[in-house]
Chains A and B, each alone.
Chain A
């Protein structure tokens, strides 16, 4: 059974009098352990699809099955639980809490998961930060870190609850090419450790890390191809 499955999903935004079909009949299955890149022009519906996959948003029509279960009937609280335990989400703009240390940012999902022991939270968050190479900077505030470091804190936060699925919407969009490569290496490593990774990017260099590439156009899936990842196997 696929970890993720979209069945004829549409998402329609109403803008005044006109309907914008951000997603227009998308069907796709993603298996456990896959490393998928989603490409497409700006406005083609990539983020809309990611938000639905990440349980941040719901389809207008069609069905989304996460691990075989339809998401449509779930309450807001249940969706929050899925976001907390089943999904790690990495945003282009990092979305870290400002004036809050790296450690506390990474502890956040643990807090909402009900890990009540402060020592336990700190241990696991420190572990996740060490995993992304920031073990020395746990006490830094976001504005004391570079863009690449902030994105790695965000990845640590996405990992800390050990979810099976990592969704990254243009994670390197705000980074220079050197730090982009570092972040991609990290995602690739996680994929090799068995995590399912779905990545949105419009840079072919970044998509080249993935083993499968989906291409979107005007809310539709226009191409779905397996490929040999060019890098990262190391």
Chain B
């Protein structure tokens, strides 16, 4: 008997009890669908985290002003301005491991064009900012040193803001935008960058020169910068040394005694990224193991029904043996029934899982990554479950004594 004939025999037997076969396969269907849906969503989340950190650059440090929390009831980082424009200059010029440094001051503001208005976060910064974040202008230019020196009333818009204020197709360059009532000229529109790691729209932004920001939009106390400084190290490997240099420099400049707390805090984006990635990994493997357990439960269902089926069909087994079926052929018959059940269940489960993943991702706005290797592994695993759990019932059938089987009522 060839494999094709055995498969046909299996299909026929399964069709004979169609509802039961479907209910048995349902365990595998749900298991595989769960695997596909959960792993696709888990992988999607992982990929998004990876992509957004890759876009931000892994050699980024964020220097936050403010005292540490360790000395009792003090404000959090960023609550007190402790960084100055001179600190910024020192960091960007004096340190060997630092490639560039830029302030990242922010204020929420209503932007108005002739026709539209749009609330967004306005950044006050320097040209280095664009270098650090690797943000480039799609049209026009980014900010220049002379914009900073002269306190020019110019603005670079993110793609979303440009679209909201001037429409999808209109030219924003050269137009006037009022920010807190002050007219700014649009000199550049940034390339579209998409969502950030925490789901924010990176394109919903507007950038103005630091000097203009401080004088027109968000006046600061003296020389203090009311916001963090972004620092990029010369390379990914140089990040820890750059962090050390910045710490030493600022402690010296702020005259902090040995043993006293920093009045600033440095965040290492690579660390944040790897922590987030680890989180996504854990989520992924947690989802995968839940899904694997449900597959296993499906396998037990198959074993259960196959055992019932072998007992019910004892007489059939006796008849087949009497006319010449070898133990191996009987084994193959029942094993292939279990395998067919689980593989068909697996295939239906793949379809259902992809559908569910797409529905969930559309409904909740979750990112999605359907990997063909996951589909392949899930299907192969369901086949393995079928063989694994079908083996015992099939062995039981093949070991029957023909006479006893024929006498079975």
- The chain A residues found within 8 Å of chain B, CB to CB, are 51, 54, 56-57, 76-77, 80-81, 83-85, 89, 91, 95-97, 99, 108-109, 111-114, 116, 157, 161
> Least Cβ distance of B309 to chain A in Å?
14
* Any A CB within 8 A of the CB of B57: no
Q: Which of B315, B316, B320, B326 has the most CB of A within 10 A?
A: B326
Known contacts: A91-B406, A95-B406, A111-B5. The answer to whether A77 contacts B320 by CB under 8 A is no
A81 to B325, CA, bound (A): 8
Question: Contact residue range for chain B?
Answer: 20 to 34
**CB-CB nearest in chain A for B320:** A108
Residues of B within 8 A of A97 (CB): 316, 319
Establish whether residues A77 and B328, one from each chain, have CB atoms under 8 Å apart when the complex forms: yes
Q: Which residues of B contact A (CB under 8 A)?
A: 1-2, 5, 16, 315-316, 318-329, 402-403, 406
CA distance A80 to B321 in the complex (A): 7
- Which listed residue, A51, A80, A91, A116, touches B326 by the CB 8 Å rule? A80
Once the chains bind, are B319 and A76 in contact (CB under 8 Å)? Answer: no
- The answer, among A76, A95, A99, A161, for a CB contact under 8 Å with B322, is A95
In the complex, which residues of chain B have a beta carbon less than 8 angstroms from the beta carbon of A108?
319-320, 323
| CB of B12, distance to nearest CB on chain A (Å) | 9
Q: Which of B1, B16, B315, B323 contacts A83 (CB 8 A)?
A: B323
The B interface, classified by DSSP as helix, strand, loop or mixed, is helix
For the complex, give the distance between the alpha carbons of A99 and B2 in Å. Answer: 23
Q: Which residue of A lies closest to B329 (CB)?
A: A112
Question: How near does chain B come to A24, taking the closest CB pair, in angstroms?
Answer: 19
B313 to chain A, nearest CB (A): 10
- A selection of 10 A-B contacts at a CB cut-off of 8 Å is A56-B322, A77-B326, A80-B325, A80-B329, A81-B326, A83-B321, A83-B323, A109-B324, A112-B326, A116-B2
| Interface residue from A85, A91, A112, A161 paired with B1 (Cβ < 8 Å) | A112
CA distance A83 to B16 in the complex (A): 28
Which residue of A has the minimal Cβ distance to B328?
A77
CB neighbours (8 Å) of A85 from chain B are: 324
Is B326 touching A76 in the complex (CB atoms < 8 A)?
yes
Closest chain B residue to A95 by CB distance? B319
For B319, the chain A residues whose CB sits under 8 A away are 95-97, 108
- Chain A residue with the shortest CB-CB distance to B1: A111
> Which chain A residues border B5 with CB–CB below 8 Å?
111, 116
**Which A residues touch B328, using CB under 8 A?**
77
Could you tell me the distance in whole angstroms from the C-beta of A169 to the nearest C-beta in chain B?
11
B327 engages A83 (CB within 8 Å):
no
* B322 contact set on A, CB distance < 8 A: 54, 56, 83, 89, 91, 95
For the complex, what is the distance from the CA of A80 to the CA of B405, rounded to whole Å? Answer: 14
**Complex interface: chain A residues within 8 A of B323 (CB):** 83-84, 89, 108-109, 112, 157
A77 to B398, CA, bound (A): 11
Which B residues are in CB contact (< 8 Å) with A96? Answer: 319
Q: Which residue of A lies closest to B8 (CB)?
A: A118
Closest to B313 in A: A97
CB <8 Å contact, A114 and B324: no
Closest to A91 in B: B406
Q: A51-B403, A95-B406, A116-B5 are in contact. Are A76 and B16 (CB under 8 A)?
A: no
| Measured CA separation A188–B108 after assembly (Å) | 106
Q: Closest residue to A88 on the B side, CB-wise?
A: B323
Residue among B1, B321, B402, B406 having the largest count of chain A Cβ atoms under 10 Å: B402
Chain A residues with CB under 8 Å of B1's CB are 111-112, 114, 116
In this complex, the member of A54, A85, A95 whose beta carbon has the largest number of chain B beta carbons within 10 angstroms is: A95
Residues on A with C-beta less than 8 A from B316 are 97
User: Which residues on B sit within 8 Å (CB–CB) of A84?
Assistant: 323-324
Contact of B402 among A56, A81, A109, A161 (CB under 8 A): A56
- Residues of chain B within 8 A of A54, CB atoms compared: 322
Complex formed: what's the CA distance from A99 to B316 in Å?
A: 11
A78 to chain B, nearest CB (A): 9
Across the interface, which residues of B come within 8 angstroms of A57, CB to CB? 402-403
A109 to B1, CA, bound (A): 11
Q: Are B327 and A80 in contact (CB under 8 A)?
A: yes
With both chains docked as a complex, state the minimum distance between the C-beta of A186 and any C-beta of chain B, in angstroms: 19
Q: Which residue of A lies closest to B324 (CB)?
A: A84
Question: Would you give the shortest CB distance from B236 to chain A, in whole angstroms?
Answer: 63
Give complex CA distance A114, B1 in Å.
Answer: 5
